[in-house]
Structure 1
Amino acid sequence: MDSVNDYEADTAFLGDWGPFQRRLSLLVCITLIPNGYGSLVVVFLADTPAHRCLVPAHGPNLTDEWRNASIPLEEDGRPTECSRYRLDTLRVYSEAGVLPSDVNLTAVPREGCLDGWEYDRSVYASTIVSEWDLVCAQQWKKPLTTSVYYCGYLVGSFLSGQLSDRFGRKIVLFVTLGGQTLFAFIQVFSHSWMAFCVLYFLGGMSHISNYLSAYVLGAEIATPRVREFFTTAGSCLFFALGYMLLPLHAYFLRDWRMLLLGITTPGFLLLTLWWFIPESPRWLLSQGRIAEAEAILKDAAKMNKIEAPEKIFTPLQNKCGFEKMKAYNICDMLRYSNIRWMSVALWFVWNTIAIGYLALSLNTSNLHGGAYFNCFLSGAVEIPAYFITWLMFRRCPRRLTMAGSLFASGFFLLVIQLVPAGLHWLAVTLEMIGKFTLTVAFSHIYAYSAELYPTVLRNTAMGACSMACRIGSVSAPYIIYLRTYSLSLPYILMGVLITMAALLSLLLPESYGMPLPESIAQMQPGCCRKVVYKRTHTKEDETARKSMDVQ
């Protein structure tokens, strides 16, 4: 890692926060805004309006009284959504002059919605649910639609890092930014649910690839002091800004096609930032492209009104100059005992946080009150959460911060079950507090995980954690789907899982104030140290154990 330290020293002449760093950080963060509304637009695209079976106006010969009575009522007085009384039976009563009040309707046979459904248009002019009748026997397609999108996230998480390392951060950033914009634009013209899902999958791949490329580019260009803020709060704040802009778009664009078009158009304008965002000099240096890296840094110095050295890097600081280390892969995360338990624990924590965060975000349309305000509130609570994460990351132990935020989130979600039915405002408040504390944990886990893993395995490990996170994202829509069986079930399940993750996080090593580990042997021991090292079999394990014993 000497070459990495040399890079920091050789570029220190730029300063921490000059005009170049400010402009570049702002532009990179702006490219993250579409991820905020693109990732959660399904809240409005796939919301289910109130609906009931359609009774054809020019169908069976029914009087107005029998037409109005053709839909059975639930116990709370709402029309049944998936069945109606058999129209041929009602026609016999109608032609005989019998009134609905004279008949025991509970004894009248029922049938499905053979002629389709009619939807309440007071909130939405159209959603994909009303467009393709994703209700009743087809309602399983609604959570599947969201899961397909996050399956794209899973594939994109796997591919984006390799593409970014191979072709560069900048080109992957803008190719995927253009891809997510183009796929969303084509979705506007989808004429089938299947075509919509295929494009949604491709859009999910582009969204996460764009986010990760921008995140890495911003982190690599920032100085260590600024990088801490960028990785824990800066990039997340602009994601939250996009999240808060989503309900504003949706409020004025009530048709799902127009909503997609409205949030897609700005993406084309962002492509013009190609001429203002440079490639990562770190990546160029790792590829041996020293002249290009120096040219970018000299332009930065000119913008900062600083005189750059004539020669910034030595010829040996190319990709061969970086310390050569043994190549590791994802299997090594389970092979060595001093990293195995930590990886499994982190995967569970990442997966659980993703389930809770996305499930609470998708649930905003089901909360009492307006869907638009609830969605805005859900995004707004993330703003202070990111600032608090940054402050705690600078001052507080990682393990206790993670466990405390998860315990708080699990507690508030479980307490929701105790709220009386009439106190809707209290239930919404508790859910938002749970979302707030879970957002703190979500923002915290990225930087915390990077500190726990050694340099020789850090990129691979972060990719594995991200994939575990995406598995949770794929599962989250089905957690909300459990509302169809019990309104309390999603909260109970999320509360229990998050509380378990909090307990498990207490077993993770502490990294606050510790130097970043460079090798597996330098990793910090966790609370289960004796159990971890009891079964060492390899020479690498024995070396790691001895190193920990010395510490």
Structure 2
Amino acid sequence: MLEVDKMLEKCGDFSRLQVFMLLLFSVINLLSAMHYYSQTIISFVPKYWCADGLDLETEAPDVSSCQPLNTNATGHETCHSYNYETYMGYQSFTSEMNWICGEAWKLTLGQSMFFVGSVVGTLVLGYLADIVGRLPILILANLIAMTGNLLTMFGTSLPLFCIFRLIAGFATDSNFLMMYILVMEYMRPSLRTIGLSVCIGVFYCLGSMGAPWVAVLMGSWRGFLLVTSLPFALVPLFYFIVPESVQWLISKQKYDKAMACLKRVAKINGRQLDDSVYAQFIADCKLSQQNTKTTPNLLDLFKTTRLRRNTFILFFKSMVITLCYDAVSRNVQGLGISPFIMFSLSATTILPACLILIALQDRIGRKAMASSSLLLSGVFISVTGIVLYTASNHNTTIVVTLSVIGRFGVTVAYNSAAQYATELIPTCVRGQGVAAVHVMGYAFTFFSAYILYTRTVFSPLPEIILGVLSLLGACLCLLLPETLHRTLPTSLEEGEKFGINEHWYTFSCMEKRSQSVMKLAPARDKSLSASTDSSFYF
């Protein structure tokens, strides 16, 4: 069978269309960053104190207080009104609704609904992506994100706030992931890492760093949601530029639409191909799929030995990375630094992390990058946690610096894992599979609070647990097959056989070196060299 990558090479796998798609992917990165951080930004809690019985000229206390200032610390008087010290005049949802002190549980409930929505939505939209296609779900997810945020502007009661945050969370991850999959599938394999990483590193970083300052500029949470939501209305226009996944169309045996997409790609890229080339490609696809199941689903990933093993490893890796990221975030709470500044500082790690991927991932391979980044992130977090404990009484600069270092290590691991999972899961269930991997990470953040609670037993214990989990994840990644310079699996059968002859110690960089050595071998060993090279897919 003529591989899809080979056919795309004829139609153009890094020309006008791919440039357009990278530009649109950059837009998606900006929008998804703003949407993801909207949950936290609208919920900022500024310094507050009870306003009962106070004159307008009364100075603000040093710390937030729920009790009237004229009572002692053990008093139980109820406060009826509060004053706030807003940062640069920004009024959050929390300060407007007075959801603090005894009412703080309402804000927590609303935030949890966003999380519930993200878990359910990622699974549902991922499933639908394998039924109706990547492009329709990309558009639908972004419209849901816009709708949820705009409705939140009117959700000033607890039931409405919870419902609207559930809707907004429903789109989280899918509004980014579908475009990620499409760009990856249409990009030349050798340029996937650099293309995707540059877009994420630059534009997701800019969106993350800029989100809190957009809120400050607008002055209120409603203005922030309005300004960051309206651009989502542009995403339906992607339909006229972005083609549907050819690999998905072929996996669903929609050969006419697959041929139409390929012709469209060739036309945009200025390539001229004979109809016989397309006809031969479709004929080869039909021949290879005569005995292929046409309606696979997520559960099929668990029916065969190697696919089941790989899927469980991807699940565990996602769980470890998400747990580590959440632990880093929780360890820097109460720093005494503005949340706006902290957001921007932590977001600066996104670009360097992506540059590390660009520099190393296509050199050492996906497996080596995933394993080493997990190992290094575990070391970063362990050292950070220990130093955070020993330096708890020192200045804020030390704590913030260590926090940023920890975030950097986790970001490298997360970005590496995202591409690895997308390449490793077969096309026919890629939407469901990648969504399930992400959801496992989201779902297991539930346990992060309990892991951190073990600090009451032994201070460094949370970091020890996370370090052991990271080390175990790094070891398990060695059991995954390499995807660098390989034709990605399309069907479940191809996914089961993918990398079947590899060993845990087989790395792409080692293969490259072996080939270089064999090229220098004497002519009498030429047949052995040729037979060995054929197994490396280079």
TM-score bracket for the superposition, by shorter chain length: 0.7 to 0.9
Seen in structure 2, the aligned counterparts of structure 1 residues 492 and 439 have a Cα distance that, compared at 3 Å, is: farther
Q: Does 1:471 align with 2:443?
A: yes
Deviations 1:359-417 (Å, cap 9, x if unpaired)?
Answer: 64688784443322221121121011012123322122245423333223323431222
Seen in structure 2, the aligned counterparts of structure 1 residues 146 and 359 have a Cα distance that, compared at 3 Å, is: farther
1:240-259 → structure 2 map (5 Å cutoff): 240-259=205-224
Contact persistence 2:45–2:94 (CA under 8 A): yes
Question: After the TM superposition, which of the residue ranges 156-165 and 428-437 deviates more from structure 2?
Answer: 156-165
Amino acid at match of 2:283: L
Contact persistence 2:209–2:343 (CA under 8 A): yes
Query: 2:121 & 2:197 partners in 1: Cα distance?
Result: 22
Q: Does 1:316 align with 2:316?
A: no
Q: Does 1:372 align with 2:340?
A: yes
Query: 1:213 & 1:287 partners in 2: Cα distance?
Result: 17
**Any idea what SS the aligned residue of 2:83 has?**
strand
Query: 1:307 & 1:336 partners in 2: Cα distance?
Result: 42
Select 1:145's aligned residue among 91, 110, 116. 110
**Rg (Cα) greater in structure:** 1
Amino acid at match of 2:67: S
Q: CA deviation at 1:437?
A: 0.7
1:189-200 → structure 2 map (5 Å cutoff): 189-200=154-165
Select 1:52's aligned residue among 49, 52, 57. 49
Contact persistence 2:122–2:174 (CA under 8 A): yes
Deviations 1:249-296 (Å, cap 9, x if unpaired)?
Answer: 022123111111121122224443433333333334444554444444
Contact persistence 1:134–1:141 (CA under 8 A): yes
Q: CA deviation at 1:188?
A: 1.3
Question: After the TM superposition, which of the residue ranges 284-293 and 302-311 deviates more from structure 2?
Answer: 284-293
Deviations 1:154-176 (Å, cap 9, x if unpaired)?
Answer: 11221122212222222221122
1:37 alignment counterpart: 34
Contact persistence 1:236–1:386 (CA under 8 A): yes
Q: Does 1:511 align with 2:481?
A: yes
Amino acid at match of 2:102: A
Select 2:66's aligned residue among 79, 82, 92. 82
Q: CA deviation at 1:449?
A: 3.5
Contact persistence 1:173–1:214 (CA under 8 A): yes
Q: Does 1:393 align with 2:361?
A: yes
Seen in structure 2, the aligned counterparts of structure 1 residues 399 and 362 have a Cα distance that, compared at 3 Å, is: closer
Instruction: Normalising by structure 1, report the TM-score.
Output: 0.76
1:99 alignment counterpart: none
Q: Does 1:349 align with 2:317?
A: yes
Deviations 1:66-103 (Å, cap 9, x if unpaired)?
Answer: x979x9xxxxx746623337xxxx8xxxxxxxxxxxxx
Amino acid at match of 2:223: M
Query: 2:244 & 2:428 partners in 1: Cα distance?
Result: 24
2:22 alignment counterpart: 25
Seen in structure 2, the aligned counterparts of structure 1 residues 10 and 80 have a Cα distance that, compared at 3 Å, is: closer
Contact persistence 2:138–2:179 (CA under 8 A): yes
Query: 1:335 & 1:171 partners in 2: Cα distance?
Result: 29
Amino acid at match of 2:51: L
Q: CA deviation at 1:200?
A: 1.3
Query: 1:197 & 1:366 partners in 2: Cα distance?
Result: 26
Select 2:465's aligned residue among 496, 500, 515. 496
1:43-122 → structure 2 map (5 Å cutoff): 43-55=40-52, 78=62, 81-84=65-68, 110-122=75-87
Query: 1:319 & 1:130 partners in 2: Cα distance?
Result: 61
1:419-434 → structure 2 map (5 Å cutoff): 419=391, 421-434=393-406
Amino acid at match of 1:384: P
Q: CA RMSD in A?
A: 3.9
2:351 alignment counterpart: 383
Seen in structure 2, the aligned counterparts of structure 1 residues 357 and 331 have a Cα distance that, compared at 3 Å, is: same
Deviations 1:166-190 (Å, cap 9, x if unpaired)?
Answer: 2222222112212211221121122
Amino acid at match of 1:322: Q
Query: 1:403 & 1:290 partners in 2: Cα distance?
Result: 40
Question: After the TM superposition, which of the residue ranges 457-466 and 158-167 deviates more from structure 2?
Answer: 457-466
Seen in structure 2, the aligned counterparts of structure 1 residues 362 and 212 have a Cα distance that, compared at 3 Å, is: farther
1:520 alignment counterpart: 496
Contact persistence 2:197–2:354 (CA under 8 A): yes
Query: 2:23 & 2:68 partners in 1: Cα distance?
Result: 56
Q: Does 1:281 align with 2:246?
A: yes
2:527 alignment counterpart: none
Deviations 1:505-551 (Å, cap 9, x if unpaired)?
Answer: 213315347856735365668879xxxxxxxxxxxxxxxxxxxxxxx
1:411 alignment counterpart: 382
2:11 alignment counterpart: 14
**Any idea what SS the aligned residue of 1:140 has?**
helix
Q: CA deviation at 1:50?
A: 1.4
Q: CA deviation at 1:345?
A: 4.6
Contact persistence 2:375–2:470 (CA under 8 A): no
Q: CA deviation at 1:248?
A: 2.4
Seen in structure 2, the aligned counterparts of structure 1 residues 464 and 158 have a Cα distance that, compared at 3 Å, is: same
Query: 2:439 & 2:430 partners in 1: Cα distance?
Result: 14
Q: Does 1:216 align with 2:184?
A: no
Query: 2:315 & 2:150 partners in 1: Cα distance?
Result: 34
Deviations 1:315-372 (Å, cap 9, x if unpaired)?
Answer: 5366785364467665566666656665545433312312333564688784443322
Deviations 1:427-467 (Å, cap 9, x if unpaired)?
Answer: 11111011011000001112334566677876654343222
Contact persistence 2:310–2:480 (CA under 8 A): no
Aligned length: 489
**Any idea what SS the aligned residue of 2:171 has?**
helix
Select 2:415's aligned residue among 443, 448, 455. 443
2:535 alignment counterpart: none
Seen in structure 2, the aligned counterparts of structure 1 residues 25 and 140 have a Cα distance that, compared at 3 Å, is: same
Query: 1:417 & 1:34 partners in 2: Cα distance?
Result: 37
**Any idea what SS the aligned residue of 1:51 has?**
strand
2:266 alignment counterpart: 301
Contact persistence 2:201–2:355 (CA under 8 A): no
Query: 1:38 & 1:465 partners in 2: Cα distance?
Result: 21
Seen in structure 2, the aligned counterparts of structure 1 residues 385 and 191 have a Cα distance that, compared at 3 Å, is: same
Instruction: Normalising by structure 2, report the TM-score.
Output: 0.78
